[in-house]
Structure 1
Amino acid sequence: MMSTSRKTRAFAPDPASPGLPCDTPGCEQAGEFRAPKSRTTLRDFHWFCLEHVRAYNAAWDYYKGMAPEEIEGEIRADSSWQRPTWPLGQQGRQAHFDEAAAAELHAFAFGTRPKSPPKQQAPAELHDALGIFGMAWPVTFAAVKAKYKELAKRHHPDANNGSKQSEETLKRINLAYATLRAKLAMPPPQPAAD
């Protein structure tokens, strides 16, 4: 059976046309076809008749007046839809590299490394849970949750042919996660109102 839906033809008048005459000086025909005014205002339009919009489009050059470096930059930006990008896996690494470089420069200039802040001690009730997860204090709930998902997948009995040892390990992981979640996901205490 043939499809009855029809696509509009490329040269069909725009239904949103304002009904004004063609923007070309001296043309009296209706301006039914839109064309962008410039590359910086792509949503601001001229309205032309069919003959003049064809001539305008034939002469249109988006990159006209740009230096080769600007054209290259536009093409690169278009490949990611004009959104910022960064290499995979590099998002948080730069800050670490900056800190390490600053420490090395400080050591070179003054002969000593800057003192690192003292390590915080984990609450006593979290020592075992952090040991099961293989994490050091301080931790965030998001990091604990990600580690839990990883460990649960690795030690799930279904992933280990129904192993009893995996089942026991998963029980310990679940208890450790419940302990950490209760401590880390809990909202901080609010001061009492007078």
Structure 2
Amino acid sequence: MSADRSTDRFHGRIQGGGRQCAFPRCYEAGEFRAPDPHGQAASGNGPGDYQYLCLDHIRAFNAGYNWFAGMTADEISMAQSPIYAWPSEARAFRANGNVDSPPKWADFKDPLDAISTRFRSRMPQERADGHFLSPEDRKALKTLGLGEDADRRALRSAYSAKVRAYHPDKNGGNRSHEKALQDVIAAYTHLKNQSAFA
């Protein structure tokens, strides 16, 4: 990129190409790229053909250009959808708009520690059996009083013991442990569906 282009007040100007404006009988330099109405249209195979216009003619082109021309109402609605440019679900490095969050997927691998160094304390941790535990998994295990390498049998045993300890029916109707019981049920419900405890 030349020094001139980086400070150019006209966004999109392409200098130094030696092209002439594509508008008939215009001899100005074609420094601005626009879709070529006579060329191949944009498709899944690429952006299509371009023409190069001078400043005056790119302004006229932009003023009269209708990207939605020829589309049905459904096609326009689809094109305006936020997922139009990337219609499949993508894994993101941001959660709830928080840029400083680690990746959320359990099978994340980072052999060069490019990302995990920054988020080491919050990254999913690998167990001895090769399964990963997210921070939520570790919190649930702590609620049940289990270590990170606990198996499904230990999970069920700890859950049963905690329910017996906290349930009002086992404590003469004492409801003071209701919150602890709810936490235990939530922790067990979360963990029993994780691959580490299948």
> Which category of TM-score, normalised to the shorter sequence, fits these structures?
0.3 to 0.5
TM-score (norm 2): 0.40
TM-score (norm 1): 0.41
